[in-house]
Amino acid sequence: MLPTSCLCTQLRRASRGVTRLYDDALAAVGLGAAQFSLLRHVQRLGQPSISVLAEAMGLDRSTLGRNLRVLEEQELLQLGEGRDLRAREVRLTEAGLQRIEQALPLWEQVQRELNARLGADRRAELMELLEELA
């Protein structure tokens, strides 16, 4: 890999490397890291509107919409009418909940491996730095 002092390049490289670890682990249940993250956000938020979900994930609505359609086609979630006609709600299906249950131990294993690799202090420092940059 070509050395660089560019923060953007280094962050993108690190992001791709970490994402690859999660993608490889989650492939066993037919998910990628982004899909698992989306399903977990829906689970944690209950039945969020698309706007609330986009805000929580730090995504624009059009990017989120594309990702939602993929999971909707797999019948892992449903889009339904919200409290008013402009706000659609996102709901997990039973299949979506089951897929999360299958994927969670795989995700947790990658978490443990990365935490062990960094150590508690460096992990805490990294999380603080990333939060600041976000």
> pLDDT value at position 86?
64
> Which residue type is seen at 10?
Q
Residues 26, 19: Cα–Cα separation, whole Å = 10
Which element (helix H / strand E) includes 79? Answer: strand 77-81
Is pTM, for the whole model, over 0.75? yes
Spell out, as residue ranges, where the chain has pLDDT lower than 70.
84-86
Task: Look at residue 91 and give its three-state secondary structure.
Answer: strand
> pLDDT value at position 134?
87
Determine, yes or no, domain membership for 134.
Answer: no
> pLDDT value at position 85?
56
Q: How many domains in the chain? A: 1
Determine, yes or no, domain membership for 69.
Answer: yes
Determine, yes or no, domain membership for 2.
Answer: no
Q: Find the CATH number of the domain harbouring 102.
A: 1.10.10.10
Q: Can you give the residue range of the structural domain that contains 104? A: 27-110
> pLDDT value at position 14?
96
Determine, yes or no, domain membership for 13.
Answer: no
Determine, yes or no, domain membership for 118.
Answer: no
